[in-house]
Amino acid sequence: MSAIRALSASARRLRKPVGVASTALAVAACVSAEVPYRPLASGEQVYRQVCMACHATGVENAPRLGDRQAWKPLVDEGQDTLTAHAWVGVRGMPARGGQPGLSLEEFARATAYMARAAGGDWQDPDADMLAEIEEEIAERLASLTQGK
């Protein structure tokens, strides 16, 4: 009989943590909204949806797609630097090209697409390049807050 009581005492001790854990999981399932899967847009898709409005027409002196002369000094800045500065906003360009819903990878793909169209040999960013861009973003934001 004492074995049965020991077992039920043991079961009682487990009941509370298991109940708390299952309640926490149920609450988390209700609170967290499931984000539907959305494949990342290509550089060309982002260009057509976001960048083209300015880079096809030259608004605010935006370098036009394929204009090698206008893009050369920008391409020479380097992929991480140009992408980071454009992400934050530079010259007449708003941050993220005015599209806050873009991911950094999508934005970087569009920047690489435009640089390639102007003769640059930039590739779509891999994890290492994205890390370099993120570092440059942090540096750029720090310099902007210091008024540089």
**Residue 51 backbone dihedrals phi, psi, to 5 degrees:** -80, -30
Assess contact for 92 and 102: CB atoms under 8 A: no
Q: 111: pLDDT confidence band, cut at 50, 70 and 90?
A: very high
Q: 54: pLDDT confidence band, cut at 50, 70 and 90?
A: very high
Superfamily of structural domain 43-145: Cytochrome c-like domain (1.10.760.10)
What per-residue confidence (pLDDT) applies to 38?
Answer: 77
- Could you give the C-alpha distances from 57 to 53, 61, 67, in angstroms and in order? 7, 9, 12
Quote the pTM value: 0.73
What per-residue confidence (pLDDT) applies to 119?
Answer: 96
Domain locations in the chain as residue ranges: 1-34, 43-145
State both tokens at 112: 């690489």
| Nearest Cα to Cα of residue 83 among 105, 57, 98, 50 | 105
Query: In this prediction, what percent of the chain has a pLDDT beyond 70?
Result: 75
HSE-CB at 114 with a 13 A cutoff on CA atoms is 30
